[in-house]
Copies of this chain bind each other. A is one copy, B any other.
Amino acid sequence: MTDLSDSSNFIIKNALLSSRLSKRVGHCLSVHGMSMTEFLVLHSLEGAPRKALSRIELAELLGMSASGITRLVAPMEKIGLVSKESNPRDARQSLVKISETGQRLYSEASVGFDHISNELTENISSVQLEKILELYGRVK
């Protein structure tokens, strides 16, 4: 499992790590009946200006396709975590807005998410984590 450049090794290890982490964290989120990507939707909406984003913006943020977002959001809307809002300025857009229920569920899930995250990275200091995040920002 060697012989490539540091860059290649970084890409490879990053992919493997992320799949491992997503599984662990996903398992923890499933207690709240939620997947990792659903959590990321709620997280993104929670941080958005008017607690709403268009499907395209959501796709951009999550690195997914527009159709992926359609299929991801549909069941969340059905169970009332988010609602569909139309943009009076542009009838093509349908904004996704987080509901009260969605906000409640998000904050509940965040607790567990934070807890498991801290556990998984307990051997890495905050300073180092921040340094990694800064370096991530430099990846093209």
A residues in contact (CB < 8 Å) with B: 1-23, 25, 36, 40, 43-44, 46-47, 61-63, 110, 113-114, 117-124, 126, 128-130, 132-133, 135-136, 138-140
Contacts and interface: CB of A to CB of B under 8 A. Distances in A.
A7 B129 contact: yes
Given A5-B117, A15-B18, A132 B135 contact: yes
Given A8-B114, A14-B21, A23-B63, A132 B132 contact: yes
Given A3-B47, A4-B110, A9 B133 contact: yes
A1 to B, nearest CB: 4
Per assembly, the copies of the chain total 2
Contact of A11 (B5, B10, B21, B138): B21
B128 A135 contact: yes
Q: Which of A3, A9, A11, A12 has the largest count of B CB atoms less than 10 A from its CB? A: A11
A117 B47 contact: no
A12 B43 contact: yes
B113 A8 contact: yes
Nearest to A3: B47
Nearest to A20: B63
Contacts of A119: 140
